[in-house]
Amino acid sequence: MQIIRSVKEMQQLMLELGKENRIGFVATMGYFHEGHISLMKESVKENDKTVTSIFVNPLQFGANEDLERYPQDLENDKRVAEEVGVDILFIPEATDMYPTKMTFEIIAKQRTNVMCGKTRPGHFEGVATVLIKLFNIVRPDRTYFGSKDAQQASIVQAFIHELNFPIELVILPIVRETDGLAKSSRNINLTTQERQEAVWIHKSLEYGRQFVVDGEFIPAMIVQEVINMIHEKTSGTVDYVELLSYPELEPVINTGNQFILAAAVHFSQARLIDNLIIDSEGNKTR
């Protein structure tokens, strides 16, 4: 496995490699868990070469967010990437990714004013900006994202389409612990007590989904039921529970094909997210 830190070197290498190889790309912030591994494995299976980037993108963190606290374990990440079969690990420096003050800003007029976007102004614009840059550096044929960050996947889908990136977006299911908690780099910041409670995020979403299965597709009621259950069963504070069309992330109108029931919950040192993507009968579609 090659490890590359220079943006320029990476871009030169990929321009050459891309001529004769199908390139799969997994963009990450590191601290790999099984969610990341599932993305890398799928890419290794489907492409000639797999590139994984590790970059904790300052542009997507707000002033009061956990940029400094974001967990890192580069040695383990290298070992894992090598084992999984990643060909190139790209670990750029922030000063190399943002050498000058940006003249251009990417603004998203839709899909960002709901869910995580409501409390993280500029977050998804920061995500879109760094991904546009990474896509231009890596030039992948396919890129892999997880369903846990469903809003991110929705936004990546939109800008790939609208800006004509010739990249196939592959979205893989959420990887869960055996008790159902969605895997996340941030789970490490839960206390033992919180870790036990956290399973109720997923359980509460499943409880909400059951209303749809039972033919009671009443978004406001379902959202309130899920909020109540999370507050009853955990010490966390609900940031949001929302039921929206997917991938448009707009208020549910019964003509939609897919919907997302999503939650974000604050614990003492970690904010966790989870979701279910369902059809109008409540069947899980991912």
Q: Is 163 in the site for a second copy (CB under 8 A)?
A: yes
Nearest C-alpha neighbor of 50 from the set 80, 8, 6: 80
Whichever of 78 and 111 has its CB closer to a second copy, that residue is 111
- Residue 187 to residues 129, 230, 251, Cα–Cα distance (Å): 26, 17, 30
Amino acid identity, residue 259?
F
Q: Is 107 in the site for a second copy (CB under 8 A)?
A: yes
Tokens of 19: 């001529």
**Is 53 known to sit in a ligand binding site?**
no
Q: Is 196 in the site for a second copy (CB under 8 A)?
A: no
Q: Are 245 and 232 in contact (CB under 8 A)?
A: no
User: Whole-number minimum distance, CB 8 to a second copy, in Å?
Assistant: 10
Catalytic, 202? Answer no
Helix (H) or strand (E) holding 194: helix 192-213
Site string for a second copy, 140-159 (x = CB under 8 A): ---------------x--xx
Q: Are 139 and 18 in contact (CB under 8 A)?
A: yes
Whichever of 19 and 232 has its CB closer to a second copy, that residue is 19
Q: Are 201 and 272 in contact (CB under 8 A)?
A: yes
Q: CA 130 to CA 58: how far, in whole Å?
A: 10
Q: Is 16 in the site for a second copy (CB under 8 A)?
A: no
User: Whole-number minimum distance, CB 146 to a second copy, in Å?
Assistant: 21
**Is 157 known to sit in a ligand binding site?**
no
The residue ranges that bind a second copy (CB under 8 A) are: 7, 11, 15, 19-20, 100, 102-111, 128-129, 132-133, 136-137, 139, 155, 158-159, 161-166
Residues with catalytic annotation? 36
